[in-house]
């Protein structure tokens, strides 16, 4: 069953200066015992203050991940609550009222995390977990932990936009004995948040990170390039096309194919036609920003000739500001065209 003992006994949580509001007033490193106490706290809140019952549907929408994100999750599983991403009986969030209304979450019974994270003295909850509940459609007893090679420091970003990452990334990381510390930081939008995340990656020597969308990974690579942040020690995973993409670092296998190098010039398109020998795919890197409808026409024309020559189409395309390894990595993480 998914309960507090699922978490590695070697669990360590390290705060950072950007997420003090989510559980800690200052920088600290805490062990698994502190997590147990917070799980008990939220179990009391869910039962005694929010009056939830087993099998109630609870939804978490936290754009800023923190220590209490873990605690609330396991409090819910230990109470046999169904954790859902649609049509909840209750929603726990950290959104301002305007965004709550914009996303129509105000139609549900909802509570701000900040209103329930410190309600005072708690009461002991006398409930024995049965494991008979669902986590994003997966029964507790049927959950199988993905085997991911975590080690060192893991950075958790946000899970609200892609809840499956809880099953595919968060839980495997929490269960792994080789993780030295868990660090959390979310973002409201990629434009604003990737600067802070790149700073934390550099300062806290992050080894593993997952980003939930194309926009975030593109912005992340832009930020680390601007800040001259090395990613040699970082494994950057990415959720795309309903699966967790494992990074491939053999970027020397992505290069111009001399056999088709002249296709862009033939059709007066400025950019590079790249072949990924590892994935056996072709990508096109535009030299300048191109309006999407025009880009699609140009790609379609070039793909037609590429297919005649190689039997392959251009699977992915985009504008990249440079040809650095970090930039080229974006293609491997883009949604297939």
- Here the CATH number for the domain that contains residue 283 is 3.30.300.30
- CA atoms of 80 and 125, how far apart (whole Å): 13
| Mean pLDDT, residues 130-142 | 97
Confidence of residue 337 (pLDDT cuts 50, 70, 90): very low
Can you give the pLDDT at residue 28?
A: 82
128, pLDDT greater than 90: yes
Residue labelled with tokens 């690579």: 221
- CA atoms of 129 and 154, how far apart (whole Å): 29
Q: Are residues 224 and 272 in the same domain?
A: no
Q: Are residues 146 and 282 in the same domain?
A: no
Q: Are residues 298 and 216 in the same domain?
A: no
Q: Are residues 185 and 225 in the same domain?
A: yes
In this predicted model, which residue has the larger pLDDT, 279 or 216? 216
60, pLDDT greater than 70: yes
Q: Are residues 83 and 166 in the same domain?
A: yes
Radius of gyration of the CA atoms of the chain, in A: 23
Q: Are residues 75 and 218 in the same domain?
A: yes
34, pLDDT greater than 80: yes
248, pLDDT greater than 80: no
Q: Last residue of some domain: 225, 245, 265?
A: 245
Q: Last residue of some domain: 245, 280, 314?
A: 245
CB 16 within 8 A of CB 96: no
What percent of the chain clears pLDDT 90, i.e. is strictly above it?
58
Can you give the pLDDT at residue 38?
A: 95
Q: Last residue of some domain: 191, 225, 245?
A: 245
Classify the C-alpha dihedral 53-55-57-63 as positive or negative: positive
Give the pairing type, strands 271-276 and 281-286.
Answer: antiparallel
| Mean pLDDT, residues 250-270 | 84
pLDDT tens digits, 225-238: 777 788 778 888 87
Helix axis angle, 190-203 to 214-226, nearest 10°: 50
335, pLDDT greater than 80: no
Can you give the pLDDT at residue 334?
A: 56
Provide the 3-class DSSP secondary structure of residue 287.
Answer: coil
Query: Whole-number mean pLDDT of the chain?
Result: 87
Q: Are residues 227 and 263 in the same domain?
A: no
Q: Are residues 209 and 274 in the same domain?
A: no
| Tokens matching residue 97 | 């009222």
Which domain range does residue 314 map to?
Answer: 251-333
The region that residue 268 occupies, defined by phi over 0 for left and psi between -120 and 50 for alpha, beta otherwise, is: left
pLDDT tens digits, 172-193: 999 999 999 999 988 887 777 8
- Say which CATH number the domain at 236 has: 3.40.50.12780
Can you give the pLDDT at residue 222?
A: 75
Task: Please return the burial class of 46, using the count of CB atoms within 10 Å of its CB with bins 0-12, 13-18 and 19+.
Answer: buried
Q: Are residues 303 and 158 in the same domain?
A: no
| Tokens matching residue 272 | 């590079």
Can you give the pLDDT at residue 288?
A: 83
- CA atoms of 284 and 214, how far apart (whole Å): 16
| Mean pLDDT, residues 211-218 | 79
Q: Are residues 90 and 185 in the same domain?
A: yes
20, pLDDT greater than 90: no
What percent of the chain clears pLDDT 70, i.e. is strictly above it?
89
How many domains are there within the chain? 2
Alpha helices in 169-291 (DSSP H): 171-175, 190-203, 214-226, 263-266
| Mean pLDDT, residues 146-169 | 93
CB 179 within 8 A of CB 150: yes
The pTM for the full model equals 0.76
In this predicted model, which residue has the larger pLDDT, 206 or 221? 206
DSSP one-letter code for 95: -
- CA atoms of 62 and 92, how far apart (whole Å): 8
Q: Are residues 39 and 89 in the same domain?
A: yes
Confidence of residue 240 (pLDDT cuts 50, 70, 90): confident
Q: Are residues 269 and 240 in the same domain?
A: no
Can you give the pLDDT at residue 313?
A: 93
| Mean pLDDT, residues 121-137 | 94
For the ranges 10-14, 35-39, 80-84, 121-125, the lowest mean pLDDT is seen at: 121-125
């Amino acid at each position: 069953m998914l309960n507090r003992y699922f978490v590695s006994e070697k669990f360590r949580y390290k705060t950072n200066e950007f997420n003090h509001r989510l559980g800690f007033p200052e920088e600290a490193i805490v062990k698994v015992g502190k997590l147990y106490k917070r799980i008990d706290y939220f179990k009391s809140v869910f039962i005694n203050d929010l009056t939830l019952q087993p099998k109630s549907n609870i939804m978490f929408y936290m754009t800023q991940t923190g220590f209490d994100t873990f605690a609330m999750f396991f409090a819910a599983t230990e109470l046999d609550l169904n954790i859902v991403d649609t049509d909840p009986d209750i929603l726990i969030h950290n959104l301002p009222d305007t965004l709550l209304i914009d996303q129509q979450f105000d139609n549900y019974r909802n509570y701000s995390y900040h209103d329930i994270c410190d309600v005072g003295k708690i009461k002991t909850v006398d409930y024995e977990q049965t494991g008979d509940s669902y986590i994003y459609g997966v029964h507790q007893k049927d959950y199988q932990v993905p085997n991911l090679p975590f080690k060192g420091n893991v950075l958790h970003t946000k899970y609200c936009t892609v809840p499956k990452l809880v099953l595919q990334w968060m839980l495997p990381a929490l269960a792994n004995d080789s993780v030295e510390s868990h660090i959390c930081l979310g973002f409201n939008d990629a434009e604003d948040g990737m600067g802070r995340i790149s700073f934390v990656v550099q300062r806290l020597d992050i080894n593993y990170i997952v980003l939930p969308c194309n926009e975030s990974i593109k912005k992340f690579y832009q930020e680390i390039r601007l800040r001259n942040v090395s990613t040699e020690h970082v494994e950057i995973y990415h959720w795309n096309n309903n699966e967790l993409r494992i990074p491939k670092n053999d970027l020397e296998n992505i290069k111009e194919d001399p056999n088709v190098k002249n296709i862009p010039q033939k059709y007066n398109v400025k950019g590079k036609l790249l072949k990924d020998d590892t994935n056996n795919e072709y990508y096109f890197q535009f030299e300048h920003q191109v309006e999407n409808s025009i880009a699609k026409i140009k790609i379609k024309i070039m793909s037609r000739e590429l297919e005649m020559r190689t039997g392959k189409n251009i699977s992915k395309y985009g504008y990249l500001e440079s040809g650095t390894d970090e930039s080229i990595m974006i293609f491997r993480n883009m949604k297939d065209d």
